[in-house]
Amino acid sequence: MPPRPVPAQTVFLRPLPGTRPARRQRPPLPAPGRARPSLRQPGLQPKRMGPEPGGRGMGPQRFRGPTLALSGDPLRHRHLPLRRGAAGDPGPRWGLHALWPRPTPRRARRPRLRPILSASQAGQFRYPWHHSRRAVPEPGSRSSAGPLLGRTRNHAQPTRLPVDGSAARTGADGAPSRHPAPLLPLLRHEPHLSARVDRQRAPGLGLNRRPPGSKQSTNPPCPESCAMPLAFLLLIALAELVGADELRFDTPQEWRTWKLPLGALQFTASGDLKPIEIRKHNNAVLDARQFGGGIRSAGSNAGSAELVMDGDLNTGWAPSPSSPLEDRFLEVNLGRGVSAYRVTLDFAEDAPPFELFDLLLSTGEQQVDQVGNPMPNTLVYRISERFKENTRHQVVYELDRPEHTPIQYLRLAVLKSPPGARLVKVEVECIGDDLLTNLPQKGGEIQIVVDTSKPDEAVQLGNAQSLTDGDLNTRWQQRNEPRATYDIWGNITLDLGAVYWVDWFRIIGGVVVRSGNGGGITTAQYISRRSFIYKYYEVLTSDGSLAPDGSRLWTKHYADYPTQESFTMGMADHKFDLAPTRYIRLVWRVWDAACAVAVGGTQSKTSQFCLVTGATEELQAFGEGYPQSLEFSSPIIDLGEDKNLQHLSWKADTPLGTRVEIRSRTGDQVVQQLTYRDKDGKEVTQKKYEKLIPSFRGPIDTLLVAGGDWSPWSKIYGVSGERFHSPSPRRYLELDTRLTSDTPQQAASLDWLALEYTPPLASHALSEISPPEVRPGETTEFSYFLRTEDTAPGLDQLAVEATVPLHFTAAYVDQQPVVAQADSTPAGFSVKFSSPLRSNQLVELRFSSAVFLQSTRFDLFLEDSRTQVRQPAEPGDATQLSESNSNVVRLPIADHLLANLALTPVFTPNGDGVNDQLRLSLDLVNVLAPRPLYLRLYDLAGQLIHSEEQQALAGRQEFSWDGRNAGGKLLPPGLYLLELTIEGDARQENTRRVVQVAY
């Protein structure tokens, strides 16, 4: 039920000196028309907080401890206790205050506010997170309430979220759906409330941003009699002026609002996000519970049966000596089909082992009745081995014979047991962790196309899930029988959800007996009933790289008919060198047109010999180590209104060869997008959804997705604390994070991520540069125009940055020269004005520079010199004096890399100190990466006499020559040929000049 509306009040109660408040439950809300209980607390007098519904005054409220009531919105009313902690928690924007304890008249009046915390207390108390789950506003609305917004169902009222973050889903008929909803795609953030002072960032003090690695203050609370220092009051005022806030993701609860591939990502004991390591040759018993496994049954002493699965050799299980023989058994469920190669049983060392027992293994096959229907809760054990006169405390059973198959169940039947004997450990060694088990639940995808000439006719996910569900008894096969005069090809594409190191792919065609006399068949009959239906097929992998035409690049590992061993075993193994793999594809020939012509005959005959339905029980993939690349992203984050995004910070552990790559994008628009799903939760088109019968229809999700004004993904952030790369100010943003590793043995981990933002210095800031096109290498005077709207009072400084040297010359406001202080910066220059800039003023900055690269960008930033807050200006139409509407300067369209070559006019290397060297300068154009630039001199006979080489980038390049050859000998007077050569990406460019040497 939604929270009961309450009057909008803001109440702060001061804690007692030297005490830490205890957490208390929210007091019950009074019924309408009834007075609230009284407030009785030492040091505080009861207060009336304004009129209640109906015009009567509300009675005093009673609290047993210091409590914070946040309101202003009935849906967000909370009573939360104060607690110790770090800065950066949400709360009102106006600061940290308390109601002064004094009698209040009965009539409603505005409470008097007065700060009560000293500087030492400021860092010790904070207000905890409070999440309000509210309705989704219309796209583009300016509502600022509620940190979580998400998807609605079938255009109905938005679904309120339970505490765990899931949402009820609505089916096509309006009834609740049995399918859980994924996490919400829109996260709304509210400003934090904290009086913590960041003393490391002067003069922008008051920012509630805890420096990475900083510790919480341990100063004792200031006595109540102490006075607040004046400096702290000034810092509080400055914090209100700056209004800097922080969006932080730190705890697992906060990270779970992201789209996390939890099958590939884990939270460490310290709360870090780290990829899961893929193991080789592991014990499948230890993690059986993660797949729903455990002890299936135990005939006696069932309470101790779990002890054989914990790996502890000091505890174990033994049947009761008084139990009948048929109850002396133990069954272990591994939770999924496991490709095992060895089973090991360990017995207690302090007693004799079981003397006579049977070991039985099963795929999970069920017993069938006389008409072939499976019987529930039954198992058929096709693999069995009896151990007689056993004296070993460790029994090893190798699974290396033709009748051995992948298994899911293990049964131990004890026939003779000495006193004190007990089983302490069961170990099932397997190839490794299967990357495909429960693939869709781990963030992966399955796509099946039966006819590649009709890629839109994909198989429904519900049927395809049996390929990776870990259940050997379920299988996939396509029911259609396509025919044509040409070969028809199908494929199964498996998206692993991350780039893993993979070296083994297994196709389990058919190892489960699906008809016959249940357990009454012989081993030979059992083997003969295995199946591997594929004829010609291919196995390919891809790391996700794309070809120039946009298609995915694949590496082919197998392309042939299956071997005889595949038919005998009912499965095929494909091993290859360890390779980065995101996608695995199985391609097979569904219909063999040449076979149909050769066989002829009836349809049943061609179906038997020329048609391959692709019947498969399970697909498995194995690898090793940590993923090479693992990507996860945030939902759309709603800041409530346009904010000036400042810095992006994070803390990560990056061993050698690993990286954390973070990108961002921003926008001001979100649009609604309907997503149709079938009963299995797979996304389908609206047309296909409408063709489904009601019982096959799933929910319709209304998603909020990025609108048309969003920026592309930014470049990767290099270091923590870097300036925000995407356009700002904006209301919405998304963050994308990738953990990469060059080796399977290492992985990066991410501790926390934080984004600092402030109110914008201007709601709109348009800028453009003139002239928009110049000649390469020529020094040109530029004019950079700026016009702002809704300018903040502190805007008094501008900065221009570029990849070329800049030289400031003058500043103008409304076309009138003004006095401004210019300072050079590593990337350009900054200009501080004597008075703050105002809205709609036309500001012009003039400077000179030379451009060597096509589309060189000049960035303009708005700055507040007091707080060091910075906001980028956006390119646009700032004035009619310029028509560029851009911050990019172009070069004339040409394919020359060498330009503006200049030589010393006179060259006389006679040692008199005048013109003793040949000096050469040129401009290198549009060379983005270092390339070899050669200087060579030849005599008129074509013989090389001198050469130089240097790695050069776009810009001014210089050479000098003293008139000597490679041996250091001074050359005689005469004419020589000078050649300059640059090695470009696509071609080599040369230019030549004649040089005269005279004495």
Predicted confidence (pLDDT) per residue in 14-33, tens digit:
333 444 444 444 444 444 44
Residue 60 binned pLDDT confidence (cut-offs 50, 70, 90): very low
Please classify residue 798 by burial: count the beta carbons closer than 10 Å to its beta carbon, then call 0-12 exposed, 13-18 middle and 19+ buried: buried
Portion of the chain with pLDDT greater than 90, in percent: 51
Q: Give the single-character DSSP code of 744.
A: T
Poorest-pLDDT segment among 348-352, 474-478, 714-718: 474-478
Poorest-pLDDT segment among 174-178, 597-601, 971-975: 174-178
CA distances for 330 relative to 319, 336, 425, 702, 993, angstroms: 9, 18, 12, 50, 92
CA distances for 503 relative to 415, 500, 534, 621, angstroms: 42, 10, 21, 8
pLDDT at residue 524, rounded to an integer:
64
pLDDT above 90 (res 435)? yes
Edge-first strand order for the sheet with 356-362 is 294-298, 329-338, 407-416, 356-362, 383-387
pLDDT at residue 171, rounded to an integer:
45
Portion of the chain with pLDDT greater than 70, in percent: 73
Q: Cis bond leading into 158, ω under 30°? A: no
Query: Three-class SS string for 440-473?
Result: HHHCCEEEEECCCCCCCCECCHHHHHHHCCCCCC
pLDDT above 60 (res 245)? yes
Beta bridge partners of 553: none
* Token pair 């003969």 in the structure block, residue: 528
> SS3 for 235?
helix
- The residue type of 915 is N
Sequence-distant (6+) residues with CB within 8 A of 202 are none
pLDDT above 80 (res 613)? yes
Residue 910 binned pLDDT confidence (cut-offs 50, 70, 90): confident
Q: Give the Cα separation of 90 and 98 in Å (integer).
A: 17
Sequence-distant (6+) residues with CB within 8 A of 470 are 291, 335, 336, 337, 434, 437, 438, 618
CA distances for 863 relative to 645, 799, 826, 867, 885, angstroms: 13, 7, 16, 8, 22
> SS3 for 388?
coil
pLDDT above 90 (res 641)? yes
Each residue of 439-493: pLDDT tens digit? 988 889 999 988 877 766 666 666 788 999 999 999 998 877 888 889 999 999 9
> SS3 for 73?
coil
Q: Which two tokens stand for residue 957?
A: 């390049």
Q: Which two tokens stand for residue 473?
A: 């008894």
pLDDT at residue 777, rounded to an integer:
87
Residue count of the chain: 999
CB 451 within 8 A of CB 481: no
CB count within 10 Å of CB 365 equals 24
Each residue of 570-582: pLDDT tens digit? 999 999 999 999 9
pLDDT above 50 (res 428)? yes
Residue 464 backbone dihedrals phi, psi, to 5 degrees = -70, -25
pLDDT at residue 566, rounded to an integer:
93
- The distance of Cα 41 from the centroid of its chain, to the nearest Å, equals 48
CB 338 within 8 A of CB 301: no
Q: Which two tokens stand for residue 217?
A: 């203050």
* Greater pLDDT, 984 or 488: 488
pLDDT at residue 98, rounded to an integer:
34
Q: Give the Cα separation of 584 and 136 in Å (integer).
A: 39
pLDDT at residue 511, rounded to an integer:
92
CB count within 10 Å of CB 525 equals 12
pLDDT above 50 (res 873)? yes
Where residue 709 falls (left for φ over 0; alpha for ψ -120 to 50; beta otherwise) is alpha
Q: Give the Cα separation of 210 and 198 in Å (integer).
A: 7
Q: Taking CA 320 as the corner, what is the angle to CA 315 and CA 323, rounded to the nearest 5 degrees?
A: 155
Residue 604 binned pLDDT confidence (cut-offs 50, 70, 90): confident
Q: Cis bond leading into 352, ω under 30°? A: no
pLDDT above 90 (res 63)? no
pLDDT at residue 628, rounded to an integer:
96
Beta bridge partners of 641: none
Residue 768 backbone dihedrals phi, psi, to 5 degrees = -155, 150
Each residue of 270-314: pLDDT tens digit? 999 999 999 999 999 999 999 999 999 999 999 999 999 999 999
pLDDT at residue 111, rounded to an integer:
36
Sequence-distant (6+) residues with CB within 8 A of 28 are none
Poorest-pLDDT segment among 173-177, 338-342, 400-404, 527-531: 173-177
Q: What integer best gives the mean pLDDT of the chain?
A: 78
Q: Taking CA 239 as the corner, what is the angle to CA 236 and CA 242, rounded to the nearest 5 degrees?
A: 155
> SS3 for 188?
strand
- Beta strand spans in 730-770 (E): 730-741, 749-758, 764-770
pLDDT at residue 230, rounded to an integer:
45
Most confident of 86-90, 231-235, 527-531, 584-588: 584-588
pLDDT at residue 928, rounded to an integer:
79
Buried-exposed string 186-200: b where 16+ CB fall within 10 A, e elsewhere = bbbbbbbbbbbbbee
Q: Give the Cα separation of 85 and 127 in Å (integer).
A: 8
* Greater pLDDT, 613 or 231: 613
Q: What is the secondary structure of 617-677 as a DSSP string? A: SEEEEEE-BS-SEEEEE--EEEEEEEEEEEEEEEEEE--TTEEEEEEEEEES-EEEEEEEE
Q: Give the Cα separation of 319 and 299 in Å (integer).
A: 8
Each residue of 519-542: pLDDT tens digit? 556 666 667 778 899 999 999 999
pLDDT above 90 (res 887)? yes
Each residue of 719-754: pLDDT tens digit? 999 999 999 999 999 999 999 999 999 999 999 999
Q: Give the single-character DSSP code of 873.
A: P
Question: Mean per-residue pLDDT for 627-646?
Answer: 94
* Greater pLDDT, 22 or 825: 825
pLDDT at residue 458, rounded to an integer:
60
pLDDT at residue 663, rounded to an integer:
98
Beta bridge partners of 940: none
Each residue of 373-417: pLDDT tens digit? 888 889 999 999 999 999 999 999 999 988 899 999 999 999 999
Q: Give the single-character DSSP code of 790.
A: S
Q: Give the Cα separation of 832 and 809 in Å (integer).
A: 14
Q: Give the Cα separation of 164 and 135 in Å (integer).
A: 17
Beta bridge partners of 951: 932
pLDDT above 80 (res 144)? no
Most confident of 8-22, 240-254, 511-525, 616-630: 616-630
